[in-house]
Structure 1
Protein backbone atom coordinates (compact mmCIF):
# COMPACT_ATOMS: atom_id res chain seq x y z
CA UNK A 1 0.00 0.00 0.00
CA UNK A 2 2.80 2.41 0.87
CA UNK A 3 4.53 1.69 -2.44
CA UNK A 4 1.33 2.33 -4.42
CA UNK A 5 0.70 5.53 -2.45
CA UNK A 6 4.22 6.80 -3.19
CA UNK A 7 3.88 5.96 -6.89
CA UNK A 8 0.51 7.72 -7.14
CA UNK A 9 1.96 10.83 -5.48
CA UNK A 10 4.84 10.74 -7.98
CA UNK A 11 2.49 10.56 -10.96
CA UNK A 12 0.59 13.60 -9.70
CA UNK A 13 -3.02 14.69 -9.14
CA UNK A 14 -3.78 14.53 -12.85
CA UNK A 15 -3.87 10.74 -12.61
CA UNK A 16 -6.65 10.97 -10.04
CA UNK A 17 -8.74 13.33 -12.18
CA UNK A 18 -8.50 11.67 -15.58
CA UNK A 19 -6.83 8.74 -17.33
CA UNK A 20 -5.55 8.49 -20.87
CA UNK A 21 -5.80 5.20 -22.78
CA UNK A 22 -2.21 4.37 -21.90
CA UNK A 23 -2.67 5.20 -18.22
CA UNK A 24 -5.88 3.18 -18.12
CA UNK A 25 -4.06 0.06 -19.41
CA UNK A 26 -1.14 0.60 -17.03
CA UNK A 27 -3.56 1.01 -14.12
CA UNK A 28 -5.29 -2.29 -14.88
CA UNK A 29 -1.91 -4.04 -15.11
CA UNK A 30 -0.70 -2.60 -11.79
CA UNK A 31 -4.00 -3.60 -10.21
CA UNK A 32 -3.53 -7.16 -11.45
CA UNK A 33 -0.01 -7.37 -10.06
CA UNK A 34 -1.11 -5.95 -6.71
CA UNK A 35 -4.01 -8.40 -6.44
CA UNK A 36 -1.66 -11.34 -7.03
CA UNK A 37 0.58 -10.15 -4.18
CA UNK A 38 -2.38 -9.63 -1.84
CA UNK A 39 -3.86 -13.05 -2.65
CA UNK A 40 -0.51 -14.72 -2.19
CA UNK A 41 -0.28 -15.98 -5.76
CA UNK A 42 3.02 -14.20 -6.23
CA UNK A 43 5.54 -15.40 -3.66
CA UNK A 44 8.21 -12.81 -4.41
CA UNK A 45 7.21 -9.38 -3.18
CA UNK A 46 10.45 -7.89 -4.56
CA UNK A 47 9.60 -9.04 -8.10
CA UNK A 48 6.10 -7.65 -7.72
CA UNK A 49 7.45 -4.27 -6.55
CA UNK A 50 9.86 -4.16 -9.48
CA UNK A 51 6.99 -4.88 -11.89
CA UNK A 52 4.81 -2.19 -10.31
CA UNK A 53 7.64 0.36 -10.48
CA UNK A 54 8.28 -0.46 -14.15
CA UNK A 55 4.62 -0.20 -15.16
CA UNK A 56 4.35 3.06 -13.18
CA UNK A 57 7.51 4.54 -14.66
CA UNK A 58 6.37 4.00 -18.24
CA UNK A 59 3.26 6.27 -17.94
CA UNK A 60 5.43 8.82 -16.12
CA UNK A 61 7.93 8.89 -19.02
CA UNK A 62 5.11 8.98 -21.57
CA UNK A 63 3.64 12.00 -19.78
CA UNK A 64 6.99 13.83 -19.81
CA UNK A 65 7.44 13.22 -23.54
CA UNK A 66 3.80 14.20 -24.19
CA UNK A 67 4.40 17.60 -22.62
CA UNK A 68 7.03 18.32 -25.27
CA UNK A 69 5.51 16.64 -28.35
CA UNK A 70 1.92 17.23 -29.51
CA UNK A 71 2.05 14.37 -32.05
CA UNK A 72 3.26 11.98 -29.36
CA UNK A 73 0.56 13.29 -26.98
CA UNK A 74 -2.20 12.91 -29.56
CA UNK A 75 -1.10 9.34 -30.33
CA UNK A 76 -0.98 8.10 -26.73
CA UNK A 77 -3.64 10.25 -25.08
CA UNK A 78 -6.00 10.71 -28.00
CA UNK A 79 -7.81 13.83 -29.16
CA UNK A 80 -11.30 15.18 -28.81
CA UNK A 81 -13.99 14.10 -31.26
CA UNK A 82 -16.56 16.60 -32.52
CA UNK A 83 -20.09 15.25 -32.16
CA UNK A 84 -22.01 18.43 -33.08
CA UNK A 85 -20.70 21.22 -35.29
CA UNK A 86 -22.60 24.33 -36.37
CA UNK A 87 -25.75 22.76 -34.94
CA UNK A 88 -25.36 19.58 -37.05
CA UNK A 89 -24.79 16.10 -35.60
CA UNK A 90 -21.66 14.45 -37.00
CA UNK A 91 -22.99 10.92 -37.52
CA UNK A 92 -19.68 9.53 -38.82
CA UNK A 93 -17.87 10.69 -35.69
CA UNK A 94 -20.53 9.07 -33.52
CA UNK A 95 -20.00 5.75 -35.30
CA UNK A 96 -16.23 6.15 -35.05
CA UNK A 97 -16.42 6.45 -31.27
CA UNK A 98 -19.16 3.77 -31.12
CA UNK A 99 -21.76 6.09 -29.62
CA UNK A 100 -25.46 5.82 -30.38
CA UNK A 101 -27.89 8.73 -30.66
CA UNK A 102 -29.44 7.75 -27.33
CA UNK A 103 -26.02 7.88 -25.65
CA UNK A 104 -25.37 11.32 -27.15
CA UNK A 105 -28.72 12.56 -25.83
CA UNK A 106 -27.88 11.12 -22.41
CA UNK A 107 -24.57 13.01 -22.34
CA UNK A 108 -26.38 16.21 -23.34
CA UNK A 109 -28.95 15.74 -20.55
CA UNK A 110 -26.09 15.48 -18.07
CA UNK A 111 -25.17 18.99 -19.24
CA UNK A 112 -28.79 20.14 -18.69
CA UNK A 113 -29.42 20.23 -22.45
CA UNK A 114 -32.65 18.46 -23.48
CA UNK A 115 -33.08 19.88 -26.98
CA UNK A 116 -30.33 19.08 -29.46
CA UNK A 117 -31.46 22.01 -31.61
CA UNK A 118 -30.08 24.38 -28.94
CA UNK A 119 -26.51 23.09 -29.36
CA UNK A 120 -24.00 24.93 -31.53
CA UNK A 121 -20.96 22.77 -30.82
CA UNK A 122 -20.21 19.64 -28.77
CA UNK A 123 -16.97 17.72 -28.45
CA UNK A 124 -16.19 14.43 -26.73
CA UNK A 125 -12.91 14.87 -24.88
CA UNK A 126 -10.33 12.10 -24.62
CA UNK A 127 -11.41 11.62 -20.99
CA UNK A 128 -14.96 10.70 -22.09
CA UNK A 129 -16.53 14.01 -21.01
CA UNK A 130 -18.80 15.89 -23.40
CA UNK A 131 -18.32 19.67 -23.52
CA UNK A 132 -21.18 21.65 -24.99
CA UNK A 133 -21.48 25.17 -26.43
CA UNK A 134 -25.07 26.36 -26.77
CA UNK A 135 -26.29 28.58 -29.57
CA UNK A 136 -26.04 32.24 -28.64
CA UNK A 137 -29.78 32.72 -28.20
CA UNK A 138 -29.92 29.85 -25.70
CA UNK A 139 -26.96 30.85 -23.54
CA UNK A 140 -27.59 32.33 -20.07
CA UNK A 141 -27.72 36.13 -20.04
CA UNK A 142 -24.64 37.72 -18.48
CA UNK A 143 -24.02 41.14 -16.96
CA UNK A 144 -22.00 42.00 -20.06
CA UNK A 145 -24.93 41.13 -22.34
CA UNK A 146 -27.15 43.53 -20.38
CA UNK A 147 -24.40 46.19 -20.51
CA UNK A 148 -24.69 46.71 -16.75
CA UNK A 149 -21.81 48.00 -14.65
CA UNK A 150 -20.04 45.36 -12.62
CA UNK A 151 -16.91 44.90 -10.56
CA UNK A 152 -14.55 41.95 -10.36
CA UNK A 153 -15.14 39.73 -7.35
CA UNK A 154 -12.31 38.81 -5.04
CA UNK A 155 -11.85 35.53 -3.22
CA UNK A 156 -13.88 35.39 0.02
CA UNK A 157 -11.64 35.42 3.07
CA UNK A 158 -12.25 33.09 6.02
CA UNK A 159 -11.63 35.30 9.07
CA UNK A 160 -13.03 33.07 11.83
CA UNK A 161 -12.73 29.31 12.34
CA UNK A 162 -13.67 27.40 15.47
CA UNK A 163 -14.18 30.61 17.43
CA UNK A 164 -10.68 31.90 16.60
CA UNK A 165 -9.89 35.06 14.60
CA UNK A 166 -7.52 34.60 11.66
CA UNK A 167 -5.49 37.80 11.35
CA UNK A 168 -3.83 37.09 7.98
CA UNK A 169 -7.07 36.70 5.93
CA UNK A 170 -8.51 39.67 7.81
CA UNK A 171 -5.50 41.76 6.76
CA UNK A 172 -5.76 40.56 3.14
CA UNK A 173 -9.36 41.80 3.10
CA UNK A 174 -8.12 45.20 4.32
CA UNK A 175 -9.91 44.88 7.66
CA UNK A 176 -8.96 44.58 11.33
CA UNK A 177 -10.16 43.04 14.60
CA UNK A 178 -11.99 46.18 15.66
CA UNK A 179 -14.12 46.11 12.51
CA UNK A 180 -14.79 42.42 13.03
CA UNK A 181 -15.91 42.93 16.62
CA UNK A 182 -18.25 45.75 15.54
CA UNK A 183 -19.80 43.54 12.85
CA UNK A 184 -20.31 40.71 15.33
CA UNK A 185 -22.00 43.13 17.74
CA UNK A 186 -24.38 44.18 14.95
CA UNK A 187 -25.29 40.52 14.45
CA UNK A 188 -25.66 40.03 18.20
CA UNK A 189 -23.17 37.16 18.49
CA UNK A 190 -19.87 36.63 20.29
CA UNK A 191 -16.69 35.29 18.73
CA UNK A 192 -16.87 32.13 20.88
CA UNK A 193 -20.20 31.16 19.29
CA UNK A 194 -18.94 31.46 15.70
CA UNK A 195 -17.92 28.23 13.96
CA UNK A 196 -17.09 29.88 10.62
CA UNK A 197 -16.94 33.50 9.48
CA UNK A 198 -16.22 34.80 5.97
CA UNK A 199 -15.90 38.21 4.36
CA UNK A 200 -16.94 38.58 0.70
CA UNK A 201 -15.47 40.93 -1.91
CA UNK A 202 -17.90 43.67 -0.85
CA UNK A 203 -16.73 43.53 2.77
CA UNK A 204 -19.87 41.75 3.97
CA UNK A 205 -19.46 39.40 6.94
CA UNK A 206 -21.41 36.13 7.08
CA UNK A 207 -21.18 33.71 9.99
CA UNK A 208 -22.16 30.15 10.80
CA UNK A 209 -22.77 29.44 14.49
CA UNK A 210 -22.20 26.34 16.57
CA UNK A 211 -25.87 26.49 17.60
CA UNK A 212 -27.89 25.96 14.41
CA UNK A 213 -31.09 26.92 16.22
CA UNK A 214 -30.01 30.57 16.51
CA UNK A 215 -31.21 32.85 13.72
CA UNK A 216 -28.79 35.49 12.43
CA UNK A 217 -30.47 38.67 11.17
CA UNK A 218 -29.53 39.60 7.63
CA UNK A 219 -27.46 42.81 7.33
CA UNK A 220 -29.70 45.67 6.19
CA UNK A 221 -27.29 48.59 5.72
CA UNK A 222 -26.77 48.18 1.98
CA UNK A 223 -30.42 47.47 1.04
CA UNK A 224 -31.54 50.43 3.17
CA UNK A 225 -29.01 52.73 1.51
CA UNK A 226 -30.16 51.62 -1.94
CA UNK A 227 -33.82 52.13 -0.99
CA UNK A 228 -33.05 55.63 0.33
CA UNK A 229 -31.29 56.68 -2.88
CA UNK A 230 -34.18 55.31 -4.98
CA UNK A 231 -36.68 57.27 -2.85
CA UNK A 232 -34.67 60.48 -3.35
CA UNK A 233 -34.63 59.92 -7.09
CA UNK A 234 -38.40 59.29 -7.16
CA UNK A 235 -39.05 62.40 -5.02
CA UNK A 236 -37.05 64.58 -7.42
CA UNK A 237 -39.10 63.27 -10.34
CA UNK A 238 -42.30 64.12 -8.46
CA UNK A 239 -41.01 67.61 -7.64
CA UNK A 240 -40.24 68.14 -11.33
CA UNK A 241 -43.80 67.20 -12.25
CA UNK A 242 -45.40 69.25 -9.47
CA UNK A 243 -43.65 72.60 -10.02
CA UNK A 244 -44.65 75.19 -12.60
CA UNK A 245 -41.25 76.89 -12.51
CA UNK A 246 -39.24 75.93 -15.58
CA UNK A 247 -35.82 76.49 -13.91
CA UNK A 248 -36.87 74.39 -10.90
CA UNK A 249 -38.36 71.70 -13.14
CA UNK A 250 -35.12 71.50 -15.13
CA UNK A 251 -33.05 71.36 -11.93
CA UNK A 252 -35.17 68.57 -10.40
CA UNK A 253 -35.15 66.57 -13.63
CA UNK A 254 -31.40 66.98 -14.07
CA UNK A 255 -30.61 65.75 -10.56
CA UNK A 256 -33.15 62.92 -10.83
CA UNK A 257 -31.31 61.67 -13.92
CA UNK A 258 -27.98 61.91 -12.08
CA UNK A 259 -29.36 59.78 -9.25
CA UNK A 260 -30.77 57.34 -11.78
CA UNK A 261 -27.30 56.87 -13.30
CA UNK A 262 -25.83 56.52 -9.80
CA UNK A 263 -28.38 53.83 -8.90
CA UNK A 264 -27.47 51.80 -12.01
CA UNK A 265 -23.81 51.83 -10.93
CA UNK A 266 -24.47 51.08 -7.26
CA UNK A 267 -27.27 48.52 -7.57
CA UNK A 268 -25.00 45.52 -8.40
CA UNK A 269 -23.03 46.29 -5.22
CA UNK A 270 -25.82 47.32 -2.85
CA UNK A 271 -28.55 44.93 -3.98
CA UNK A 272 -28.86 41.82 -1.80
Structure 2
Protein backbone atom coordinates (compact mmCIF):
# COMPACT_ATOMS: atom_id res chain seq x y z
CA UNK A 1 0.00 0.00 0.00
CA UNK A 2 1.41 3.45 -0.89
CA UNK A 3 2.51 5.52 2.11
CA UNK A 4 0.17 8.41 1.28
CA UNK A 5 -2.86 6.10 1.40
CA UNK A 6 -1.61 4.65 4.68
CA UNK A 7 -1.29 8.17 6.18
CA UNK A 8 -4.82 9.07 5.07
CA UNK A 9 -6.29 5.91 6.60
CA UNK A 10 -4.33 6.35 9.85
CA UNK A 11 -5.39 10.00 10.08
CA UNK A 12 -9.07 9.20 9.66
CA UNK A 13 -9.01 6.39 12.23
CA UNK A 14 -6.96 8.31 14.82
CA UNK A 15 -9.03 11.50 14.43
CA UNK A 16 -12.18 9.43 14.95
CA UNK A 17 -10.74 7.72 18.03
CA UNK A 18 -9.50 11.02 19.45
CA UNK A 19 -12.91 12.64 18.84
CA UNK A 20 -14.75 9.95 20.79
CA UNK A 21 -12.17 9.93 23.61
CA UNK A 22 -12.54 13.68 24.13
CA UNK A 23 -16.34 13.38 23.84
CA UNK A 24 -16.44 10.65 26.49
CA UNK A 25 -14.25 12.69 28.81
CA UNK A 26 -16.99 15.34 28.84
CA UNK A 27 -17.49 18.97 27.86
CA UNK A 28 -15.15 20.07 30.65
CA UNK A 29 -12.25 18.94 28.45
CA UNK A 30 -13.19 21.71 26.02
CA UNK A 31 -13.56 24.57 28.48
CA UNK A 32 -11.85 24.49 31.88
CA UNK A 33 -8.86 22.16 31.95
CA UNK A 34 -6.88 21.24 35.04
CA UNK A 35 -3.19 20.33 34.85
CA UNK A 36 -3.69 16.62 34.26
CA UNK A 37 -6.38 17.18 31.63
CA UNK A 38 -4.09 19.60 29.80
CA UNK A 39 -1.27 17.05 29.81
CA UNK A 40 -3.63 14.29 28.67
CA UNK A 41 -4.93 16.38 25.81
CA UNK A 42 -1.42 17.24 24.62
CA UNK A 43 -0.21 13.62 24.85
CA UNK A 44 -3.27 12.18 23.10
CA UNK A 45 -2.90 14.68 20.27
CA UNK A 46 0.85 14.03 20.09
CA UNK A 47 0.37 10.27 19.87
CA UNK A 48 -2.18 10.67 17.11
CA UNK A 49 0.02 13.10 15.16
CA UNK A 50 3.21 11.02 15.55
CA UNK A 51 1.68 7.74 14.45
CA UNK A 52 -0.16 9.42 11.59
CA UNK A 53 2.93 10.71 9.75
CA UNK A 54 5.17 7.70 10.48
CA UNK A 55 3.68 4.64 8.76
CA UNK A 56 6.49 2.39 10.03
CA UNK A 57 5.40 2.67 13.66
CA UNK A 58 2.95 0.07 14.89
CA UNK A 59 -0.58 1.38 14.49
CA UNK A 60 -1.82 -0.89 17.27
CA UNK A 61 0.72 0.62 19.68
CA UNK A 62 -0.77 4.03 18.92
CA UNK A 63 -4.29 2.80 19.74
CA UNK A 64 -3.00 1.10 22.91
CA UNK A 65 -1.16 4.23 24.10
CA UNK A 66 -4.18 6.43 23.43
CA UNK A 67 -6.44 3.98 25.25
CA UNK A 68 -4.14 3.96 28.32
CA UNK A 69 -4.09 7.76 28.49
CA UNK A 70 -7.85 7.90 28.01
CA UNK A 71 -8.44 5.40 30.84
CA UNK A 72 -6.06 7.33 33.12
CA UNK A 73 -7.79 10.67 32.45
CA UNK A 74 -11.27 9.13 32.71
CA UNK A 75 -10.45 7.40 36.02
CA UNK A 76 -8.97 10.52 37.60
CA UNK A 77 -11.99 12.55 36.47
CA UNK A 78 -14.40 10.09 38.11
CA UNK A 79 -12.34 9.96 41.31
CA UNK A 80 -12.30 13.75 41.42
CA UNK A 81 -16.09 13.82 41.31
CA UNK A 82 -16.28 11.56 44.38
CA UNK A 83 -13.37 12.89 46.43
CA UNK A 84 -12.86 16.52 47.50
CA UNK A 85 -9.22 15.76 48.33
CA UNK A 86 -8.58 14.34 44.87
CA UNK A 87 -10.41 17.28 43.30
CA UNK A 88 -8.25 19.76 45.20
CA UNK A 89 -5.14 17.89 44.07
CA UNK A 90 -6.03 17.71 40.36
CA UNK A 91 -8.00 20.92 39.92
CA UNK A 92 -6.31 23.07 42.53
CA UNK A 93 -7.91 25.42 45.06
CA UNK A 94 -9.24 28.93 44.80
CA UNK A 95 -7.02 31.67 46.21
CA UNK A 96 -8.40 34.82 47.84
CA UNK A 97 -6.68 37.97 46.59
CA UNK A 98 -8.91 40.60 48.21
CA UNK A 99 -10.97 40.07 51.35
CA UNK A 100 -13.05 42.68 53.16
CA UNK A 101 -11.54 45.30 50.85
CA UNK A 102 -7.93 44.39 51.76
CA UNK A 103 -5.32 42.86 49.45
CA UNK A 104 -3.86 39.51 50.60
CA UNK A 105 -0.20 40.14 49.68
CA UNK A 106 0.98 36.67 50.73
CA UNK A 107 -1.58 35.01 48.46
CA UNK A 108 -0.44 37.18 45.57
CA UNK A 109 3.15 36.04 46.07
CA UNK A 110 2.05 32.43 46.43
CA UNK A 111 0.38 32.51 43.00
CA UNK A 112 3.17 34.56 41.39
CA UNK A 113 0.98 37.61 40.84
CA UNK A 114 2.36 41.12 40.83
CA UNK A 115 0.40 44.28 41.63
CA UNK A 116 0.15 45.00 37.90
CA UNK A 117 -1.24 41.52 37.27
CA UNK A 118 -3.92 42.03 39.93
CA UNK A 119 -4.88 45.47 38.57
CA UNK A 120 -5.14 44.04 35.06
CA UNK A 121 -7.47 41.28 36.26
CA UNK A 122 -9.58 43.82 38.12
CA UNK A 123 -9.85 45.99 35.01
CA UNK A 124 -11.03 42.93 33.09
CA UNK A 125 -13.89 42.86 35.62
CA UNK A 126 -14.62 46.59 35.12
CA UNK A 127 -13.10 47.48 38.48
CA UNK A 128 -10.48 50.24 38.31
CA UNK A 129 -10.13 51.01 42.03
CA UNK A 130 -9.08 48.38 44.54
CA UNK A 131 -11.02 50.31 47.17
CA UNK A 132 -14.24 49.53 45.27
CA UNK A 133 -13.73 45.77 45.67
CA UNK A 134 -15.08 43.82 48.63
CA UNK A 135 -13.88 40.35 47.63
CA UNK A 136 -11.80 38.85 44.80
CA UNK A 137 -10.83 35.21 44.34
CA UNK A 138 -8.56 33.54 41.79
CA UNK A 139 -10.16 30.34 40.52
CA UNK A 140 -8.09 27.25 39.59
CA UNK A 141 -8.84 28.05 35.92
CA UNK A 142 -6.95 31.35 36.24
CA UNK A 143 -10.11 33.48 36.18
CA UNK A 144 -10.48 36.21 38.80
CA UNK A 145 -14.01 36.62 40.15
CA UNK A 146 -14.75 39.96 41.76
CA UNK A 147 -17.49 41.09 44.15
CA UNK A 148 -17.78 44.91 44.31
CA UNK A 149 -18.69 46.64 47.54
CA UNK A 150 -22.41 46.94 48.14
CA UNK A 151 -22.52 50.66 47.34
CA UNK A 152 -20.78 50.01 44.00
CA UNK A 153 -23.07 47.22 42.85
CA UNK A 154 -25.72 48.01 40.24
CA UNK A 155 -29.28 48.46 41.49
CA UNK A 156 -31.54 45.48 40.85
CA UNK A 157 -35.32 45.19 40.69
CA UNK A 158 -35.14 43.36 44.03
CA UNK A 159 -33.50 46.41 45.61
CA UNK A 160 -36.43 48.51 44.37
CA UNK A 161 -38.99 45.94 45.63
CA UNK A 162 -40.22 45.43 42.06
CA UNK A 163 -41.37 41.99 41.00
CA UNK A 164 -40.78 41.57 37.25
CA UNK A 165 -43.09 39.62 35.03
CA UNK A 166 -42.11 35.95 34.59
CA UNK A 167 -40.40 35.33 31.30
CA UNK A 168 -39.78 32.15 29.33
CA UNK A 169 -36.89 31.61 26.99
CA UNK A 170 -37.40 32.83 23.41
CA UNK A 171 -38.14 30.18 20.81
CA UNK A 172 -36.57 30.05 17.35
CA UNK A 173 -39.54 29.18 15.12
CA UNK A 174 -37.96 29.85 11.69
CA UNK A 175 -34.42 28.96 10.63
CA UNK A 176 -33.06 29.20 7.09
CA UNK A 177 -36.55 29.66 5.66
CA UNK A 178 -37.97 26.55 7.37
CA UNK A 179 -40.65 26.44 10.07
CA UNK A 180 -39.55 24.61 13.23
CA UNK A 181 -42.58 22.84 14.67
CA UNK A 182 -41.19 21.83 18.08
CA UNK A 183 -40.23 25.39 19.18
CA UNK A 184 -43.62 26.59 17.92
CA UNK A 185 -45.34 24.00 20.13
CA UNK A 186 -43.14 25.01 23.08
CA UNK A 187 -44.44 28.58 22.66
CA UNK A 188 -48.04 27.25 22.50
CA UNK A 189 -48.34 28.44 18.90
CA UNK A 190 -48.98 26.76 15.57
CA UNK A 191 -48.03 27.20 11.88
CA UNK A 192 -51.36 28.88 11.12
CA UNK A 193 -50.58 31.66 13.61
CA UNK A 194 -47.08 32.01 12.18
CA UNK A 195 -48.34 32.28 8.61
CA UNK A 196 -50.85 34.93 9.68
CA UNK A 197 -48.11 36.96 11.40
CA UNK A 198 -45.91 36.76 8.30
CA UNK A 199 -48.83 37.87 6.15
CA UNK A 200 -49.41 40.89 8.43
CA UNK A 201 -45.82 41.98 7.80
CA UNK A 202 -46.06 41.16 4.07
CA UNK A 203 -43.17 38.68 4.33
CA UNK A 204 -42.85 35.24 2.74
CA UNK A 205 -41.35 32.32 4.63
CA UNK A 206 -38.68 31.85 1.94
CA UNK A 207 -37.23 35.30 2.67
CA UNK A 208 -36.91 34.73 6.44
CA UNK A 209 -33.43 33.78 7.64
CA UNK A 210 -34.35 33.67 11.33
CA UNK A 211 -37.59 34.08 13.24
CA UNK A 212 -37.94 34.14 17.02
CA UNK A 213 -40.89 34.46 19.38
CA UNK A 214 -40.45 36.08 22.79
CA UNK A 215 -42.30 35.20 26.00
CA UNK A 216 -45.15 37.55 25.05
CA UNK A 217 -45.74 35.84 21.72
CA UNK A 218 -44.22 38.64 19.65
CA UNK A 219 -42.50 37.60 16.43
CA UNK A 220 -39.08 39.04 15.54
CA UNK A 221 -37.74 38.47 12.02
CA UNK A 222 -34.39 38.70 10.26
CA UNK A 223 -34.65 38.53 6.47
CA UNK A 224 -32.25 37.37 3.79
CA UNK A 225 -32.83 40.67 2.01
CA UNK A 226 -31.29 43.21 4.38
CA UNK A 227 -32.70 46.10 2.34
CA UNK A 228 -36.22 45.26 3.54
CA UNK A 229 -37.08 46.85 6.88
CA UNK A 230 -39.27 44.77 9.19
CA UNK A 231 -41.11 46.81 11.84
CA UNK A 232 -40.50 45.88 15.45
CA UNK A 233 -43.43 44.05 17.11
CA UNK A 234 -45.60 46.53 19.02
CA UNK A 235 -48.60 44.48 20.16
CA UNK A 236 -47.81 44.92 23.85
CA UNK A 237 -47.21 48.67 23.55
CA UNK A 238 -50.43 49.12 21.54
CA UNK A 239 -52.44 47.13 24.07
CA UNK A 240 -51.06 49.19 26.96
CA UNK A 241 -51.77 52.43 25.11
CA UNK A 242 -55.35 51.29 24.38
CA UNK A 243 -55.93 50.45 28.05
CA UNK A 244 -54.63 53.85 29.16
CA UNK A 245 -56.78 55.61 26.58
CA UNK A 246 -59.84 53.70 27.76
CA UNK A 247 -59.13 54.72 31.37
CA UNK A 248 -58.65 58.34 30.34
CA UNK A 249 -61.90 58.33 28.34
CA UNK A 250 -63.86 56.94 31.29
CA UNK A 251 -62.39 59.63 33.54
CA UNK A 252 -63.30 62.30 30.98
CA UNK A 253 -66.87 60.97 30.68
CA UNK A 254 -67.23 61.09 34.48
CA UNK A 255 -66.24 64.74 34.50
CA UNK A 256 -68.42 65.64 31.51
CA UNK A 257 -71.75 64.20 32.69
CA UNK A 258 -74.15 65.86 35.14
CA UNK A 259 -76.05 62.64 35.82
CA UNK A 260 -75.01 61.37 39.29
CA UNK A 261 -75.71 57.72 38.40
CA UNK A 262 -73.71 57.90 35.16
CA UNK A 263 -70.90 59.77 36.91
CA UNK A 264 -70.74 57.02 39.55
CA UNK A 265 -70.60 54.27 36.88
CA UNK A 266 -67.89 56.04 34.85
CA UNK A 267 -65.86 56.80 37.97
CA UNK A 268 -66.08 53.25 39.28
CA UNK A 269 -65.04 51.71 35.96
CA UNK A 270 -62.18 54.14 35.35
CA UNK A 271 -60.76 53.13 38.75
CA UNK A 272 -61.05 49.47 37.78
CA UNK A 273 -59.33 50.17 34.49
CA UNK A 274 -56.57 52.04 36.30
CA UNK A 275 -56.04 49.01 38.55
CA UNK A 276 -55.86 46.80 35.46
CA UNK A 277 -53.30 49.13 33.88
CA UNK A 278 -51.18 49.11 37.05
CA UNK A 279 -51.21 45.31 37.15
CA UNK A 280 -50.53 44.72 33.47
CA UNK A 281 -47.97 47.48 32.84
CA UNK A 282 -44.95 45.49 34.17
CA UNK A 283 -45.90 42.58 31.90
CA UNK A 284 -46.56 44.66 28.80
CA UNK A 285 -43.39 46.72 29.21
CA UNK A 286 -41.05 43.77 29.85
> What TM-score does the superposition give when structure 2 sets the normalisation length?
0.81
CA shift for structure 1 position 68: 0.9
C-alpha distance in 1, partners of 2:93/2:272?
A: 55
1:144-183 equivalent positions in 2, closer than 5 A = 144-183=158-197
Q: Which one is further off, 81-90 or 44-53?
A: 44-53
Q: Do the aligned residues in 1 keep the contact of 2:220 with 2:233 (CA within 8 Å)?
A: no
Task: Let me know the Cα RMSD of the aligned residues.
Answer: 3.2
CA shift for structure 1 position 231: 4.9
CA shift for structure 1 position 82: 0.9
CA shift for structure 1 position 34: 4.1
**Structure 1, gaps ≥5 residues long:** none
Q: Residue in 2 aligned with 1:20?
A: 34
C-alpha distance in 2, partners of 1:149/1:63?
A: 42
C-alpha distance in 1, partners of 2:86/2:187?
A: 46
DSSP 3-state at the match of 1:227? helix
Q: Residue in 1 aligned with 2:10?
A: none
Q: Do the aligned residues in 1 keep the contact of 2:171 with 2:183 (CA within 8 Å)?
A: yes
> What TM-score does the superposition give when structure 1 sets the normalisation length?
0.84
CA shift for structure 1 position 266: 2.5
Matching of residue 266 in structure 1 with residue 283 in structure 2: no
1:2-151 equivalent positions in 2, closer than 5 A = 2-38=16-52, 40=54, 43-151=57-165
| Aligned residue pairs, count | 272
**Structure 2, gaps ≥5 residues long:** 1-14
CA shift for structure 1 position 173: 0.9
Q: Any idea what the Cα deviations from partners look like across 1:142-192, whole Å, max 9, x if unmatched?
A: 222222231222111111222222222212211122322222222221222
Alpha-carbon spacing, 1:86–1:62, altered in 2? closer, same or farther (3 Å): same
C-alpha distance in 2, partners of 1:257/1:4?
A: 69
